[in-house]
A and B are shown apart, each in its own frame.
Chain A
Amino acid sequence: MDSQSVQAAGDAVALEVRDLHKGFGGIKAVDGCNLKIPAGQISGLIGPNGSGKTTTFNLLTGVIRPDSGEVYFKGENIAGLKPYQIFRRGITRTFQITRIYREMTVFENMLSVSYLLTPMQDARERAERLMEFVTLSKLRDEYGGNLSYGQQKLLEFARALMTDPELILLDEPAAGVNRTLLADLLDRIHELQAVGKTIVVVEHDMNVIMNHCEKIFVMDYGVNIAEGLPHEIQNNEQVIEAYFGRRKDGAVRAS
Protein backbone atom coordinates (compact mmCIF):
# COMPACT_ATOMS: atom_id res chain seq x y z
CA MET A 1 0.00 0.00 0.00
CA ASP A 2 1.57 3.18 -1.17
CA SER A 3 0.18 6.15 0.66
CA GLN A 4 3.28 8.26 1.19
CA SER A 5 1.95 11.00 -1.03
CA VAL A 6 -1.18 11.26 1.10
CA GLN A 7 0.87 11.26 4.27
CA ALA A 8 2.81 14.17 2.91
CA ALA A 9 -0.34 16.10 2.09
CA GLY A 10 -1.41 16.28 5.72
CA ASP A 11 -1.07 14.13 8.79
CA ALA A 12 -4.11 15.29 10.69
CA VAL A 13 -6.57 12.46 11.24
CA ALA A 14 -10.25 13.34 11.74
CA LEU A 15 -11.43 9.87 12.63
CA GLU A 16 -9.52 6.74 13.44
CA VAL A 17 -11.06 3.27 13.36
CA ARG A 18 -9.11 0.52 15.13
CA ASP A 19 -9.82 -3.16 14.59
CA LEU A 20 -13.60 -2.81 14.36
CA HIS A 21 -15.67 -6.01 14.39
CA LYS A 22 -19.36 -6.66 13.92
CA GLY A 23 -21.06 -9.97 13.18
CA PHE A 24 -24.67 -10.75 12.45
CA GLY A 25 -25.12 -14.38 13.44
CA GLY A 26 -22.60 -16.28 11.32
CA ILE A 27 -21.85 -13.39 9.00
CA LYS A 28 -18.90 -11.18 9.83
CA ALA A 29 -20.11 -7.95 8.28
CA VAL A 30 -17.13 -5.97 9.54
CA ASP A 31 -14.14 -8.07 10.48
CA GLY A 32 -11.17 -6.04 11.62
CA CYS A 33 -11.59 -2.73 9.87
CA ASN A 34 -8.86 -0.08 10.34
CA LEU A 35 -9.24 3.39 8.90
CA LYS A 36 -7.53 6.74 9.36
CA ILE A 37 -9.77 9.34 7.79
CA PRO A 38 -7.67 12.39 6.89
CA ALA A 39 -8.99 15.68 8.23
CA GLY A 40 -10.25 18.34 5.85
CA GLN A 41 -10.44 16.07 2.82
CA ILE A 42 -13.03 14.23 0.81
CA SER A 43 -12.40 10.53 1.24
CA GLY A 44 -14.09 7.68 -0.58
CA LEU A 45 -15.08 4.31 0.86
CA ILE A 46 -15.68 1.72 -1.83
CA GLY A 47 -16.04 -2.01 -2.16
CA PRO A 48 -18.28 -4.61 -3.77
CA ASN A 49 -21.86 -5.07 -2.54
CA GLY A 50 -21.92 -6.61 0.93
CA SER A 51 -18.33 -5.65 1.72
CA GLY A 52 -19.38 -3.85 4.92
CA LYS A 53 -19.37 -0.19 3.93
CA THR A 54 -22.82 0.70 5.19
CA THR A 55 -22.32 -1.45 8.28
CA THR A 56 -19.15 0.52 8.96
CA PHE A 57 -21.13 3.78 8.65
CA ASN A 58 -23.76 2.39 11.00
CA LEU A 59 -21.05 1.46 13.50
CA LEU A 60 -19.42 4.89 13.29
CA THR A 61 -22.73 6.66 13.88
CA GLY A 62 -23.97 4.35 16.62
CA VAL A 63 -26.96 2.94 14.77
CA ILE A 64 -25.52 -0.47 15.61
CA ARG A 65 -23.03 -1.26 18.37
CA PRO A 66 -19.71 -2.85 17.47
CA ASP A 67 -18.76 -6.26 18.92
CA SER A 68 -15.26 -4.94 19.51
CA GLY A 69 -12.89 -2.25 18.35
CA GLU A 70 -12.46 1.48 18.86
CA VAL A 71 -13.44 4.60 17.01
CA TYR A 72 -11.49 7.72 17.93
CA PHE A 73 -12.92 11.13 17.19
CA LYS A 74 -11.26 14.21 18.70
CA GLY A 75 -9.28 11.98 21.04
CA GLU A 76 -12.31 10.20 22.45
CA ASN A 77 -13.43 6.63 21.87
CA ILE A 78 -16.98 7.00 20.60
CA ALA A 79 -17.57 3.33 19.80
CA GLY A 80 -20.76 2.12 21.46
CA LEU A 81 -22.24 5.55 22.17
CA LYS A 82 -25.82 6.20 21.16
CA PRO A 83 -26.50 7.82 17.77
CA TYR A 84 -27.64 11.13 19.23
CA GLN A 85 -24.55 11.30 21.47
CA ILE A 86 -22.24 10.75 18.51
CA PHE A 87 -24.18 13.32 16.48
CA ARG A 88 -23.71 15.89 19.23
CA ARG A 89 -19.96 15.39 19.08
CA GLY A 90 -19.96 16.61 15.49
CA ILE A 91 -20.52 13.62 13.21
CA THR A 92 -23.46 13.66 10.86
CA ARG A 93 -24.64 11.42 8.06
CA THR A 94 -27.10 10.81 5.26
CA PHE A 95 -28.71 7.46 4.55
CA GLN A 96 -28.38 5.13 1.57
CA ILE A 97 -32.15 5.21 1.11
CA THR A 98 -33.35 8.69 2.07
CA ARG A 99 -34.90 9.07 5.48
CA ILE A 100 -36.54 12.46 5.26
CA TYR A 101 -39.63 13.20 7.34
CA ARG A 102 -42.45 12.78 4.84
CA GLU A 103 -45.33 14.50 6.61
CA MET A 104 -43.31 17.48 7.70
CA THR A 105 -42.49 20.49 5.57
CA VAL A 106 -39.00 20.99 4.20
CA PHE A 107 -38.51 23.79 6.71
CA GLU A 108 -39.66 21.60 9.62
CA ASN A 109 -37.31 18.86 8.44
CA MET A 110 -34.49 21.35 8.75
CA LEU A 111 -35.60 22.81 12.06
CA SER A 112 -35.94 19.41 13.74
CA VAL A 113 -32.17 19.02 13.69
CA SER A 114 -31.19 22.28 15.36
CA TYR A 115 -30.31 22.06 19.03
CA LEU A 116 -32.95 23.33 21.43
CA LEU A 117 -30.40 25.62 23.04
CA THR A 118 -29.69 27.36 19.74
CA PRO A 119 -31.84 30.51 19.70
CA MET A 120 -34.87 30.03 17.43
CA GLN A 121 -33.94 33.02 15.29
CA ASP A 122 -30.47 31.61 14.58
CA ALA A 123 -31.96 28.21 13.76
CA ARG A 124 -34.42 29.81 11.33
CA GLU A 125 -31.71 31.79 9.59
CA ARG A 126 -29.45 28.78 9.28
CA ALA A 127 -32.30 26.67 7.90
CA GLU A 128 -33.13 29.34 5.31
CA ARG A 129 -29.48 29.66 4.32
CA LEU A 130 -29.02 25.90 3.93
CA MET A 131 -32.23 25.54 1.90
CA GLU A 132 -30.82 28.26 -0.35
CA PHE A 133 -27.50 26.34 -0.44
CA VAL A 134 -29.19 23.24 -1.89
CA THR A 135 -31.73 25.21 -4.00
CA LEU A 136 -34.78 24.04 -2.05
CA SER A 137 -36.00 27.46 -0.86
CA LYS A 138 -38.98 27.39 -3.22
CA LEU A 139 -40.16 24.13 -1.67
CA ARG A 140 -39.83 25.43 1.90
CA ASP A 141 -43.47 24.78 2.86
CA GLU A 142 -43.96 21.58 0.87
CA TYR A 143 -44.16 18.19 2.55
CA GLY A 144 -40.93 16.22 2.40
CA GLY A 145 -42.84 13.26 0.97
CA ASN A 146 -43.90 15.33 -2.05
CA LEU A 147 -40.30 15.99 -3.13
CA SER A 148 -38.66 14.06 -5.96
CA TYR A 149 -36.08 11.49 -4.91
CA GLY A 150 -33.20 13.73 -5.93
CA GLN A 151 -34.66 16.64 -4.00
CA GLN A 152 -35.07 14.39 -0.98
CA LYS A 153 -31.35 13.60 -1.21
CA LEU A 154 -30.59 17.33 -1.25
CA LEU A 155 -32.88 17.90 1.72
CA GLU A 156 -31.24 15.10 3.66
CA PHE A 157 -27.84 16.56 2.88
CA ALA A 158 -28.86 20.09 3.94
CA ARG A 159 -30.58 18.79 7.06
CA ALA A 160 -27.40 17.01 8.11
CA LEU A 161 -25.58 20.36 8.09
CA MET A 162 -27.92 22.18 10.50
CA THR A 163 -25.59 21.83 13.47
CA ASP A 164 -22.39 22.69 11.59
CA PRO A 165 -20.81 19.23 11.95
CA GLU A 166 -17.10 18.57 11.48
CA LEU A 167 -17.36 15.14 9.89
CA ILE A 168 -19.97 14.35 7.27
CA LEU A 169 -20.65 10.77 6.21
CA LEU A 170 -22.56 10.43 2.92
CA ASP A 171 -23.97 7.02 2.06
CA GLU A 172 -24.36 6.78 -1.72
CA PRO A 173 -25.23 10.42 -2.41
CA ALA A 174 -25.25 9.83 -6.18
CA ALA A 175 -27.68 6.90 -6.24
CA GLY A 176 -30.94 7.86 -7.96
CA VAL A 177 -29.91 11.46 -8.51
CA ASN A 178 -29.92 12.90 -12.03
CA ARG A 179 -26.66 14.22 -13.45
CA THR A 180 -27.50 17.92 -13.17
CA LEU A 181 -28.56 17.60 -9.56
CA LEU A 182 -25.52 15.43 -8.85
CA ALA A 183 -23.19 18.08 -10.25
CA ASP A 184 -24.83 20.58 -7.87
CA LEU A 185 -24.47 18.21 -4.97
CA LEU A 186 -20.80 17.62 -5.70
CA ASP A 187 -20.21 21.38 -5.91
CA ARG A 188 -21.77 21.71 -2.47
CA ILE A 189 -19.56 18.94 -1.12
CA HIS A 190 -16.46 20.72 -2.43
CA GLU A 191 -17.64 23.98 -0.87
CA LEU A 192 -17.89 22.23 2.48
CA GLN A 193 -14.41 20.83 2.11
CA ALA A 194 -13.16 24.32 1.27
CA VAL A 195 -14.33 25.54 4.68
CA GLY A 196 -12.47 22.74 6.43
CA LYS A 197 -15.03 19.96 6.80
CA THR A 198 -14.07 16.31 6.56
CA ILE A 199 -16.25 14.26 4.24
CA VAL A 200 -16.47 10.53 3.69
CA VAL A 201 -18.44 9.21 0.75
CA VAL A 202 -19.63 5.66 0.25
CA GLU A 203 -20.37 5.35 -3.45
CA HIS A 204 -20.66 2.86 -6.30
CA ASP A 205 -20.41 5.55 -8.96
CA MET A 206 -16.69 5.41 -9.83
CA ASN A 207 -16.81 8.75 -11.64
CA VAL A 208 -17.74 10.40 -8.38
CA ILE A 209 -15.12 8.49 -6.43
CA MET A 210 -12.21 8.86 -8.83
CA ASN A 211 -12.81 12.51 -9.74
CA HIS A 212 -13.80 13.95 -6.40
CA CYS A 213 -12.08 12.00 -3.63
CA GLU A 214 -8.55 12.66 -2.50
CA LYS A 215 -8.02 9.43 -0.61
CA ILE A 216 -9.86 6.17 -1.23
CA PHE A 217 -10.37 3.25 1.13
CA VAL A 218 -11.38 -0.11 -0.30
CA MET A 219 -13.25 -2.72 1.71
CA ASP A 220 -13.92 -6.35 0.93
CA TYR A 221 -15.42 -8.99 3.24
CA GLY A 222 -15.49 -6.53 6.13
CA VAL A 223 -11.79 -5.64 5.97
CA ASN A 224 -10.09 -2.65 4.42
CA ILE A 225 -7.87 -4.17 1.73
CA ALA A 226 -6.33 -1.05 0.23
CA GLU A 227 -6.07 2.70 0.52
CA GLY A 228 -4.49 5.39 -1.57
CA LEU A 229 -4.98 8.02 -4.23
CA PRO A 230 -7.41 7.35 -7.10
CA HIS A 231 -4.72 6.34 -9.60
CA GLU A 232 -3.10 4.06 -7.05
CA ILE A 233 -6.41 2.33 -6.34
CA GLN A 234 -7.15 1.91 -10.04
CA ASN A 235 -3.95 -0.10 -10.47
CA ASN A 236 -4.08 -1.99 -7.20
CA GLU A 237 -4.21 -5.74 -7.87
CA GLN A 238 -6.10 -6.60 -4.72
CA VAL A 239 -8.80 -4.07 -5.56
CA ILE A 240 -9.17 -5.33 -9.11
CA GLU A 241 -9.38 -8.85 -7.79
CA ALA A 242 -12.06 -7.92 -5.27
CA TYR A 243 -14.20 -6.38 -7.99
CA PHE A 244 -13.51 -8.65 -10.96
CA GLY A 245 -12.06 -11.86 -9.54
CA ARG A 246 -8.92 -13.76 -10.64
CA ARG A 247 -8.27 -15.70 -13.83
CA LYS A 248 -7.61 -19.43 -13.71
CA ASP A 249 -3.95 -18.93 -14.49
CA GLY A 250 -3.66 -16.69 -11.47
CA ALA A 251 -3.34 -13.38 -13.31
CA VAL A 252 -5.62 -10.63 -12.26
CA ARG A 253 -8.33 -9.88 -14.81
CA ALA A 254 -8.16 -6.25 -15.73
CA SER A 255 -9.58 -4.41 -18.66
Chain B
Amino acid sequence: MSRRETVNHLMMMVIAFLLLLMLPEYLNVYHRSFVMFTMMYVVLASSWNIISGFTGYVSFGHVLFYGVGSYASAILVADHGWHWLATLPISMMVGLAFAIVIGFPVLRLKGPYFAIATLAASEGTRVLVTVWDDLTHGGLGISLPNVENSMETYYAMLVLMFVTIGTCYWVAHSRFGVRLNAIREDEVAAEGLGINTTLYKMTAFGLSAIFPAMAGAIQANKTLYIDPETEFFVLVTITMKLMAMFGGKGTVIGPIIGAVVLYSIQEYVWVTFPHAHLIAFGVFLILVARFMPRGLVGHAIDQGWWRKGMVH
Protein backbone atom coordinates (compact mmCIF):
# COMPACT_ATOMS: atom_id res chain seq x y z
CA MET B 1 0.00 0.00 0.00
CA SER B 2 1.67 3.13 -1.20
CA ARG B 3 0.95 6.46 0.41
CA ARG B 4 -0.70 7.75 -2.78
CA GLU B 5 -3.11 4.82 -2.81
CA THR B 6 -4.06 5.48 0.79
CA VAL B 7 -4.69 9.14 0.01
CA ASN B 8 -6.85 8.15 -2.98
CA HIS B 9 -8.90 5.78 -0.87
CA LEU B 10 -9.33 8.45 1.79
CA MET B 11 -10.46 10.97 -0.82
CA MET B 12 -13.00 8.51 -2.18
CA MET B 13 -14.37 7.95 1.31
CA VAL B 14 -14.65 11.68 1.98
CA ILE B 15 -16.48 12.26 -1.33
CA ALA B 16 -18.86 9.35 -0.66
CA PHE B 17 -19.48 10.72 2.83
CA LEU B 18 -20.30 14.22 1.54
CA LEU B 19 -22.62 12.87 -1.16
CA LEU B 20 -24.50 10.72 1.33
CA LEU B 21 -24.62 13.68 3.71
CA MET B 22 -26.44 15.84 1.15
CA LEU B 23 -28.57 13.04 -0.28
CA PRO B 24 -31.54 12.85 2.15
CA GLU B 25 -32.65 16.41 1.29
CA TYR B 26 -33.62 15.12 -2.14
CA LEU B 27 -35.27 11.87 -1.05
CA ASN B 28 -38.77 11.02 0.13
CA VAL B 29 -39.24 9.10 3.37
CA TYR B 30 -39.37 5.71 1.64
CA HIS B 31 -36.11 6.19 -0.26
CA ARG B 32 -34.44 7.75 2.73
CA SER B 33 -35.22 4.69 4.80
CA PHE B 34 -34.11 2.45 1.93
CA VAL B 35 -30.69 4.14 1.92
CA MET B 36 -30.51 3.99 5.71
CA PHE B 37 -31.16 0.25 5.77
CA THR B 38 -28.65 -0.27 2.98
CA MET B 39 -26.07 1.51 5.12
CA MET B 40 -27.10 -0.63 8.08
CA TYR B 41 -26.38 -3.77 6.10
CA VAL B 42 -23.02 -2.34 5.06
CA VAL B 43 -22.28 -2.03 8.79
CA LEU B 44 -23.48 -5.56 9.54
CA ALA B 45 -21.72 -7.26 6.62
CA SER B 46 -18.47 -5.36 7.26
CA SER B 47 -18.55 -6.23 10.95
CA TRP B 48 -19.23 -9.90 10.29
CA ASN B 49 -16.29 -9.77 7.90
CA ILE B 50 -13.85 -8.78 10.68
CA ILE B 51 -14.19 -12.02 12.62
CA SER B 52 -15.30 -14.30 9.77
CA GLY B 53 -13.56 -12.89 6.70
CA PHE B 54 -10.28 -11.59 8.12
CA THR B 55 -9.95 -14.04 11.00
CA GLY B 56 -11.67 -17.09 9.49
CA TYR B 57 -14.10 -17.76 12.35
CA VAL B 58 -17.42 -18.02 10.52
CA SER B 59 -20.10 -16.70 12.85
CA PHE B 60 -23.69 -17.90 12.51
CA GLY B 61 -24.92 -15.87 15.45
CA HIS B 62 -24.02 -12.30 14.68
CA VAL B 63 -27.60 -11.08 14.95
CA LEU B 64 -27.04 -11.53 18.67
CA PHE B 65 -25.06 -8.28 18.92
CA TYR B 66 -27.55 -6.42 16.77
CA GLY B 67 -30.34 -7.72 19.02
CA VAL B 68 -28.79 -6.90 22.38
CA GLY B 69 -27.79 -3.46 21.09
CA SER B 70 -31.34 -2.68 19.99
CA TYR B 71 -32.79 -3.94 23.27
CA ALA B 72 -30.35 -1.97 25.40
CA SER B 73 -31.30 1.19 23.56
CA ALA B 74 -35.06 0.54 23.48
CA ILE B 75 -35.21 -0.22 27.20
CA LEU B 76 -33.35 2.98 28.09
CA VAL B 77 -35.49 5.11 25.77
CA ALA B 78 -38.90 3.58 26.53
CA ASP B 79 -38.54 2.80 30.25
CA HIS B 80 -35.99 5.31 31.47
CA GLY B 81 -36.62 8.29 29.23
CA TRP B 82 -33.13 8.58 27.77
CA HIS B 83 -32.49 10.45 24.56
CA TRP B 84 -31.84 7.79 21.94
CA LEU B 85 -28.46 9.18 20.88
CA ALA B 86 -27.20 8.88 24.46
CA THR B 87 -27.99 5.17 24.41
CA LEU B 88 -25.57 4.39 21.58
CA PRO B 89 -22.45 4.13 23.79
CA ILE B 90 -24.40 1.91 26.20
CA SER B 91 -25.49 -0.36 23.34
CA MET B 92 -21.87 -0.55 22.23
CA MET B 93 -20.75 -1.55 25.74
CA VAL B 94 -23.49 -4.17 25.99
CA GLY B 95 -22.46 -5.61 22.62
CA LEU B 96 -18.84 -5.70 23.75
CA ALA B 97 -19.76 -7.35 27.06
CA PHE B 98 -21.65 -10.08 25.23
CA ALA B 99 -18.72 -10.55 22.86
CA ILE B 100 -16.33 -11.04 25.77
CA VAL B 101 -18.58 -13.40 27.73
CA ILE B 102 -19.50 -15.49 24.68
CA GLY B 103 -16.21 -15.18 22.82
CA PHE B 104 -14.03 -16.48 25.60
CA PRO B 105 -15.40 -20.04 25.53
CA VAL B 106 -16.65 -20.09 21.93
CA LEU B 107 -13.45 -18.87 20.23
CA ARG B 108 -11.72 -22.04 21.39
CA LEU B 109 -13.86 -23.94 18.90
CA LYS B 110 -13.13 -24.12 15.20
CA GLY B 111 -14.99 -24.45 11.91
CA PRO B 112 -18.49 -25.93 12.13
CA TYR B 113 -18.27 -26.19 15.94
CA PHE B 114 -17.73 -22.45 16.21
CA ALA B 115 -20.59 -21.83 13.76
CA ILE B 116 -23.02 -23.98 15.74
CA ALA B 117 -21.92 -22.51 19.07
CA THR B 118 -22.49 -18.94 17.86
CA LEU B 119 -25.89 -19.92 16.45
CA ALA B 120 -26.77 -21.48 19.80
CA ALA B 121 -25.61 -18.34 21.62
CA SER B 122 -27.85 -16.11 19.53
CA GLU B 123 -30.87 -18.38 19.85
CA GLY B 124 -30.23 -18.75 23.57
CA THR B 125 -30.13 -14.99 23.97
CA ARG B 126 -33.39 -14.68 22.03
CA VAL B 127 -35.06 -17.08 24.45
CA LEU B 128 -33.55 -15.25 27.42
CA VAL B 129 -34.90 -11.93 26.13
CA THR B 130 -38.31 -13.51 25.58
CA VAL B 131 -38.64 -14.97 29.08
CA TRP B 132 -37.05 -12.12 31.05
CA ASP B 133 -40.12 -9.92 30.70
CA ASP B 134 -39.44 -7.75 33.77
CA LEU B 135 -36.61 -6.19 31.85
CA THR B 136 -37.50 -6.75 28.20
CA HIS B 137 -41.31 -6.87 28.16
CA GLY B 138 -40.96 -10.42 26.82
CA GLY B 139 -42.68 -11.54 23.65
CA LEU B 140 -44.85 -8.42 23.55
CA GLY B 141 -41.87 -6.37 22.47
CA ILE B 142 -41.16 -2.73 23.23
CA SER B 143 -42.89 0.25 21.65
CA LEU B 144 -40.86 3.41 21.61
CA PRO B 145 -42.30 6.93 21.88
CA ASN B 146 -43.55 7.97 18.48
CA VAL B 147 -41.30 10.63 16.93
CA GLU B 148 -40.34 11.45 13.38
CA ASN B 149 -36.56 10.98 13.37
CA SER B 150 -35.83 9.58 9.92
CA MET B 151 -33.25 12.36 9.36
CA GLU B 152 -31.45 11.88 12.66
CA THR B 153 -31.29 8.10 12.33
CA TYR B 154 -30.10 8.46 8.75
CA TYR B 155 -27.20 10.66 9.83
CA ALA B 156 -26.37 8.43 12.79
CA MET B 157 -26.24 5.39 10.52
CA LEU B 158 -24.14 7.32 8.02
CA VAL B 159 -21.55 8.18 10.67
CA LEU B 160 -21.60 4.63 12.05
CA MET B 161 -21.10 3.20 8.56
CA PHE B 162 -18.03 5.33 7.95
CA VAL B 163 -16.59 4.50 11.36
CA THR B 164 -17.09 0.82 10.56
CA ILE B 165 -15.57 1.07 7.09
CA GLY B 166 -12.69 3.13 8.47
CA THR B 167 -12.02 0.49 11.11
CA CYS B 168 -12.12 -2.31 8.52
CA TYR B 169 -9.80 -0.31 6.30
CA TRP B 170 -7.33 0.11 9.12
CA VAL B 171 -7.56 -3.58 10.04
CA ALA B 172 -7.02 -4.73 6.46
CA HIS B 173 -3.97 -2.56 5.89
CA SER B 174 -2.22 -3.01 9.21
CA ARG B 175 -0.06 -5.74 10.63
CA PHE B 176 -2.89 -6.38 13.09
CA GLY B 177 -5.04 -7.45 10.12
CA VAL B 178 -2.23 -9.42 8.50
CA ARG B 179 -1.94 -11.30 11.77
CA LEU B 180 -5.68 -11.97 11.82
CA ASN B 181 -5.27 -13.40 8.32
CA ALA B 182 -2.44 -15.57 9.62
CA ILE B 183 -4.80 -16.98 12.27
CA ARG B 184 -7.34 -17.71 9.52
CA GLU B 185 -4.76 -19.48 7.38
CA ASP B 186 -3.02 -21.59 10.01
CA GLU B 187 -3.57 -21.01 13.69
CA VAL B 188 -0.85 -23.41 14.86
CA ALA B 189 1.76 -21.66 12.74
CA ALA B 190 0.49 -18.23 13.81
CA GLU B 191 0.78 -19.10 17.50
CA GLY B 192 4.21 -20.65 16.91
CA LEU B 193 5.38 -17.48 15.17
CA GLY B 194 4.69 -15.10 18.01
CA ILE B 195 0.99 -14.27 17.77
CA ASN B 196 -1.04 -14.38 20.96
CA THR B 197 -3.97 -15.90 19.11
CA THR B 198 -6.44 -15.76 22.01
CA LEU B 199 -5.93 -12.00 22.41
CA TYR B 200 -6.18 -11.35 18.66
CA LYS B 201 -9.31 -13.43 18.23
CA MET B 202 -10.99 -11.73 21.19
CA THR B 203 -10.10 -8.29 19.84
CA ALA B 204 -11.45 -9.17 16.40
CA PHE B 205 -14.63 -10.61 17.93
CA GLY B 206 -15.10 -7.50 20.08
CA LEU B 207 -14.63 -5.18 17.08
CA SER B 208 -17.08 -7.21 15.05
CA ALA B 209 -19.66 -6.95 17.86
CA ILE B 210 -19.72 -3.25 18.73
CA PHE B 211 -20.82 -1.93 15.33
CA PRO B 212 -23.81 -4.27 14.90
CA ALA B 213 -24.86 -3.41 18.47
CA MET B 214 -24.97 0.29 17.59
CA ALA B 215 -26.64 -0.45 14.24
CA GLY B 216 -29.32 -2.37 16.13
CA ALA B 217 -29.81 0.59 18.48
CA ILE B 218 -30.26 3.07 15.62
CA GLN B 219 -32.60 0.68 13.83
CA ALA B 220 -34.75 0.27 16.97
CA ASN B 221 -35.17 4.04 17.16
CA LYS B 222 -36.10 4.19 13.49
CA THR B 223 -38.70 1.41 13.44
CA LEU B 224 -39.92 2.37 16.95
CA TYR B 225 -41.05 -1.13 17.76
CA ILE B 226 -38.93 -4.19 18.50
CA ASP B 227 -39.66 -7.74 19.60
CA PRO B 228 -37.41 -10.78 20.16
CA GLU B 229 -38.46 -12.53 16.96
CA THR B 230 -37.39 -9.73 14.63
CA GLU B 231 -34.36 -8.47 16.60
CA PHE B 232 -32.84 -11.94 16.92
CA PHE B 233 -34.03 -13.25 13.55
CA VAL B 234 -31.56 -15.82 12.16
CA LEU B 235 -32.18 -14.45 8.67
CA VAL B 236 -30.39 -11.24 9.64
CA THR B 237 -27.23 -13.24 10.35
CA ILE B 238 -27.58 -15.15 7.11
CA THR B 239 -28.16 -11.94 5.16
CA MET B 240 -25.00 -10.23 6.45
CA LYS B 241 -23.01 -13.40 5.83
CA LEU B 242 -24.31 -13.73 2.27
CA MET B 243 -23.62 -10.06 1.55
CA ALA B 244 -20.02 -10.35 2.74
CA MET B 245 -19.48 -13.58 0.82
CA PHE B 246 -21.14 -12.26 -2.33
CA GLY B 247 -18.94 -9.18 -2.35
CA GLY B 248 -15.83 -11.03 -1.25
CA LYS B 249 -15.03 -11.79 2.36
CA GLY B 250 -11.65 -10.87 3.73
CA THR B 251 -11.61 -7.61 1.77
CA VAL B 252 -12.76 -4.12 2.75
CA ILE B 253 -14.75 -3.28 -0.36
CA GLY B 254 -16.33 -6.74 -0.75
CA PRO B 255 -18.94 -6.53 2.03
CA ILE B 256 -19.79 -2.94 1.01
CA ILE B 257 -20.49 -3.95 -2.59
CA GLY B 258 -22.26 -7.09 -1.41
CA ALA B 259 -24.56 -5.19 0.94
CA VAL B 260 -25.44 -2.48 -1.59
CA VAL B 261 -26.03 -4.88 -4.48
CA LEU B 262 -27.88 -7.59 -2.57
CA TYR B 263 -30.04 -5.19 -0.58
CA SER B 264 -31.02 -3.36 -3.78
CA ILE B 265 -31.74 -6.61 -5.63
CA GLN B 266 -33.71 -7.92 -2.67
CA GLU B 267 -35.83 -4.80 -2.61
CA TYR B 268 -36.31 -4.83 -6.39
CA VAL B 269 -37.20 -8.52 -6.53
CA TRP B 270 -39.55 -8.12 -3.58
CA VAL B 271 -41.41 -5.29 -5.29
CA THR B 272 -41.44 -6.95 -8.72
CA PHE B 273 -42.19 -10.58 -7.84
CA PRO B 274 -43.97 -10.38 -4.50
CA HIS B 275 -44.96 -14.05 -4.62
CA ALA B 276 -41.71 -15.55 -5.81
CA HIS B 277 -39.10 -13.19 -4.39
CA LEU B 278 -37.43 -15.72 -2.09
CA ILE B 279 -37.16 -18.25 -4.92
CA ALA B 280 -35.67 -15.71 -7.31
CA PHE B 281 -33.26 -14.54 -4.63
CA GLY B 282 -32.27 -18.12 -3.84
CA VAL B 283 -31.59 -18.96 -7.47
CA PHE B 284 -29.43 -15.88 -7.78
CA LEU B 285 -27.35 -16.89 -4.75
CA ILE B 286 -26.88 -20.44 -6.01
CA LEU B 287 -25.57 -19.08 -9.31
CA VAL B 288 -23.14 -16.82 -7.47
CA ALA B 289 -21.90 -19.70 -5.29
CA ARG B 290 -21.43 -21.85 -8.40
CA PHE B 291 -19.61 -19.34 -10.57
CA MET B 292 -17.95 -16.96 -8.12
CA PRO B 293 -17.29 -18.91 -4.92
CA ARG B 294 -14.83 -16.25 -3.72
CA GLY B 295 -17.28 -13.42 -4.35
CA LEU B 296 -17.04 -10.47 -6.71
CA VAL B 297 -13.73 -9.18 -5.38
CA GLY B 298 -12.25 -12.67 -5.06
CA HIS B 299 -13.28 -13.33 -8.65
CA ALA B 300 -11.63 -10.11 -9.79
CA ILE B 301 -8.42 -11.14 -8.00
CA ASP B 302 -8.47 -14.64 -9.51
CA GLN B 303 -9.00 -13.17 -12.98
CA GLY B 304 -5.98 -10.93 -12.47
CA TRP B 305 -8.00 -7.68 -12.58
CA TRP B 306 -7.20 -6.90 -8.99
CA ARG B 307 -3.97 -7.16 -7.05
CA LYS B 308 -3.47 -10.05 -4.62
CA GLY B 309 -3.03 -9.26 -0.95
CA MET B 310 -3.90 -6.27 1.21
CA VAL B 311 -0.56 -4.91 2.31
CA HIS B 312 1.98 -4.22 -0.37
Contacts and interface: CB of A to CB of B under 8 A. Distances in A.
Bound together: yes
Interface of A: 61-63, 82-84, 87-88, 92-93, 95, 99-105, 107-109, 111-116, 120, 123, 141-144, 159-160, 163
Contacts of A115: 194
Contacts of A83: 191-192
Contacts of B179: 112, 116
A159 B193 CA distance: 9
Contacts of B181: 101, 103-104, 108, 112
A244 B178 CA distance: 47
B308 A143 contact: yes
Interface centre among A84, A92, A123, A159, by most B CB within 10 Å?
A: A84
A102 B197 contact: no
A114 B175 contact: yes
Interface in B177-196: 178-179, 181-182, 184-186, 188-196
- In the A-B complex, list the 3 residue pairs whose CB atoms are closest, starting with the nearest: A105-B309, A101-B185, A99-B189
Contacts of A62: 192
Contacts of B188: 63, 99
A84 B194 contact: yes
B185 to A, nearest CB: 4
Nearest to B195: A84
A95 B189 contact: yes
B275 interface: no
Nearest to B182: A112
B189 A107 contact: no
B311 A84 contact: no
B192 A112 contact: no
Contacts of B80: none
Given A99-B188, A101-B185, A112-B178, A84 B196 contact: yes
Nearest to A98: B189
Contacts of A111: 175, 178, 311
Contacts of A116: 175-176, 179
10 contacts: A63-B191, A84-B195, A84-B197, A87-B193, A99-B186, A101-B182, A103-B181, A107-B312, A113-B193, A141-B309
Nearest to A113: B193
Contacts of B116: none
B234 interface: no
Interface centre among A102, A103, A116, by most B CB within 10 Å?
A: A103
Contacts of B250: 103
Given A112-B175, A112-B178, A114-B175, A101 B189 contact: yes
A103 B185 contact: yes
A101 B194 contact: no
B307 A87 contact: no
Contact of B308 (A100, A101, A105, A114): A105
B76 interface: no
Interface in B280-312: 307-312
A99 B182 CA distance: 10
Contacts of A123: 175
A111 B309 CA distance: 12
Interface centre among B185, B192, B195, B310, by most A CB within 10 Å?
A: B192
Nearest to B187: A99
A188 B161 CA distance: 49
Given A99-B188, A107-B311, 12 more contacts: A101-B185, A101-B186, A101-B189, A103-B185, A103-B250, A104-B182, A104-B185, A105-B312, A107-B309, A116-B175, A141-B308, A143-B308
B311 A113 contact: no
Contacts of A102: 185
Given A84-B197, A101-B182, A141-B307, A112 B312 contact: no
Contacts of B186: 99-101
B219 to A, nearest CB: 34
A87 B189 contact: no
A163 B194 contact: yes
Contact of B309 (A88, A108, A159, A160): A108
Contacts of B196: 82, 84
B178 A104 contact: yes
A163 B307 CA distance: 27
A82 to B, nearest CB: 7
Contacts of A104: 178, 181-182, 185, 309
Nearest to A146: B308
Interface centre among A82, A102, A111, by most B CB within 10 Å?
A: A111
Contacts of A160: 193
A159 B192 CA distance: 12
B58 to A, nearest CB: 15
Given A101-B182, A114-B175, A142 B193 contact: no
Interface in B138-165: none
B74 to A, nearest CB: 39
Nearest to A142: B308
Nearest to B189: A99
Given A63-B188, A102-B185, A141-B312, A112 B193 contact: yes
